[in-house]
Amino acid sequence: MSSISKFFDFENRNTNFRTETLAGITTFVSMVYILFVNPNILGASGIDKGAVFTATALASAFGCFVMGVLANYPIAISASLGQNAFFAYSVCIGMKVPWETALAGVFAASLIFVILTATKVRERIIDAIPADLKSAIGGGVGLFIALIGLSEGGIVTAQKDAIIGLGNLSGTTWITIFGLIVTLILMSMQVPGAIFIGIILSSVLGLGTGMIPMPHEIVSAMPSLKPTFGVAITHIGDINTVQLFVVVLTFLLVTFFDTAGTLVGLADQAGFIKNNKIPNVGKALAADSSTMLVGSVLGTSPMGAFVESSAGIAIGGRTGFTTIVVGILFILGAFFSPMLGVITSQVTAPALIIVGVLMAQSLKNVHWEKFEIAAPAFLIMVGMPFTYSIADGIALGFITYPLTMIAAKRGKEVNAMMYVLAVVFVIFLWILES
């Protein structure tokens, strides 16, 4: 135990074995849905769902172990939501690209990703982001995941006469409402592990009322990887048209800024950012880029830092041991998949909403009294939930930031990298809309 404490630097990060373990369990419980969501989304492309399930579990475990040991961050890695939908519905179904070729596209993008990380291009970009915009990213990510929680719990839904409105407060939505009320009370009482306790009590309510069905079996064999393993490599030659090069570029750009935004937001929540720098950020970026590469070989869409890691950070997770616990549970989860069905989206929704509240606190660091800063920060903050994309929210803010600073006669204060990023994001949005 003492060796674990020393390796992960528990003392200097004001944490302990119990807190880190509980944080890891909470993060896993908050993100375990991806084991079921990812195969269902990618399955629409024709890819074998069982293989995707196993690929997701193993790639996630790999990423968590690398992040935990190399970077010592409590930030878990798994399949990026949005990227899997782009893979299945835009590339495979919309463009009629075979899933084998799409996987090759992910593999090609991940190779470029690794190179950009190794040459510290990604690290330099993150360091160039102004402190105000970093805080806006953290708050925007909070609003984004709160919206996910409200939507998954059924509290808000799309409406016929409005973009969004109050959902039908009946059925399983009451599991979310119950869990939210319980967690709000426990958090206000400063009860340790309040979010995790809320998840457990919500599960018990669901099982007790029959709204969550009891699992028929406890253990199941891990599905075979044979249908997808190595397909990305053997089909790399299929990327031979302008259209497919654009697909690779889109995978690269969206993943680049999605994961960067998530990483900055989580690092801000954990209190890692000092003097506008994130310690060990290069190692954290190496973890997610290498995981994207491994995931493509195993047979899944792009991987990246997972925003639900904020749930574990919220209850005290501060080291890589939190992430190691998540990795172990992903491996175990691949064998106990029937039991994981108990943790439904209605159960985890309150955790996302509460974490959204906690992450929104970073918005207090934005200089709102200075319009040239407030405007791009605001666009980042609202852009993420309104576009349902972290990358798109960042794009809106990063494009407007140089413009407002120049208009305020402060253009010389803008890092040269931010001007480059503004141009990149204009191109990025043009590619998405073309």
Q: How far is CA 144 from CA 111, 284, 374, 421, in A?
A: 29, 22, 19, 22
Q: How many Å apart are CA 74 and CA 317, to the nearest integer? A: 6
Give residue-wise pLDDT tens across range 95-130.
889 999 999 999 999 999 899 888 988 788 878 889
Token pair 């890695």 in the structure block, residue: 77
Structure tokens at 150: 């409200």
pLDDT at residue 82 is higher than 70: no
Q: How many Å apart are CA 69 and CA 76, to the nearest integer? A: 12
Q: What is the pLDDT of residue 433?
A: 62
At 141, is the pLDDT very low, low, confident or very high (cuts 50, 70, 90)? confident
Separation of first and last alpha carbons in the chain? 55
Q: How many Å apart are CA 418 and CA 399, to the nearest integer? A: 9
Structure tokens at 195: 């979010």
Structure tokens at 137: 């990213």
Q: How many Å apart are CA 226 and CA 223, to the nearest integer? A: 9
Q: What is the pLDDT of residue 395?
A: 87
Give residue-wise pLDDT tens across range 13-60.
989 999 999 999 989 988 887 887 788 789 889 999 889 999 999 999
Q: How many Å apart are CA 401 and CA 403, to the nearest integer? A: 5
Token pair 């929540």 in the structure block, residue: 269
pLDDT at residue 411 is higher than 90: yes
Centroid of chain to Cα 332: 21
pLDDT at residue 309 is higher than 70: yes
Q: What is the pLDDT of residue 322?
A: 97
pLDDT at residue 339 is higher than 80: no
Q: How many Å apart are CA 338 and CA 219, to the nearest integer? A: 7
Arithmetic mean of pLDDT, 376-382: 95
Give residue-wise pLDDT tens across range 193-235.
788 788 889 989 999 998 988 877 778 888 899 999 999 999 9
Q: How many Å apart are CA 21 and CA 318, to the nearest integer? A: 11
Q: In terms of Cα–Cα distance, which of 136, 42, 149, 57 is closest to 88?
A: 42
Q: Classify each residue of 384-406 as buried b or exposed e, where b means 16 or more C-beta atoms within 10 Å of its C-beta.
A: bbbeebbbbbbbbbbbbbbebbe
3-state class (DSSP) for residue 79: strand
The answer to whether 63 and 287 have CB atoms below 8 angstroms apart is yes
Q: How far is CA 268 from CA 135, 273, 430, in A?
A: 7, 6, 30
At 282, is the pLDDT very low, low, confident or very high (cuts 50, 70, 90)? confident
Give residue limits of the domains in the chain. Answer: 2-433
Q: How many Å apart are CA 11 and CA 13, to the nearest integer? A: 5
Q: How many Å apart are CA 231 and CA 296, to the nearest integer? A: 9
Phi, psi dihedral angles at 168 (to 5 degrees): -85, 105
Q: How many Å apart are CA 161 and CA 138, to the nearest integer? A: 31
At 349, is the pLDDT very low, low, confident or very high (cuts 50, 70, 90)? confident
At 330, is the pLDDT very low, low, confident or very high (cuts 50, 70, 90)? very high
Give residue-wise pLDDT tens across range 393-405.
888 999 999 999 9
What DSSP state is assigned to residue 274? Answer: B
Q: Sign of torsion, CA 256 234 61 46?
A: positive
Structure tokens at 27: 């993060």
Q: Are β-strands 77-79 and 156-157 bridged in parallel, bridged antiparallel, or unpaired?
A: unpaired
Which H or E run includes 390? helix 390-407
Give this prediction's pTM.
0.75
Q: How many Å apart are CA 308 and CA 30, to the nearest integer? A: 6
Q: Classify each residue of 270-279 as buried b or exposed e, where b means 16 or more C-beta atoms within 10 Å of its C-beta.
A: bebbeeeebe
pLDDT at residue 432 is higher than 70: no
Q: What is the pLDDT of residue 201?
A: 92
pLDDT at residue 170 is higher than 90: no
Q: What is the pLDDT of residue 132?
A: 92
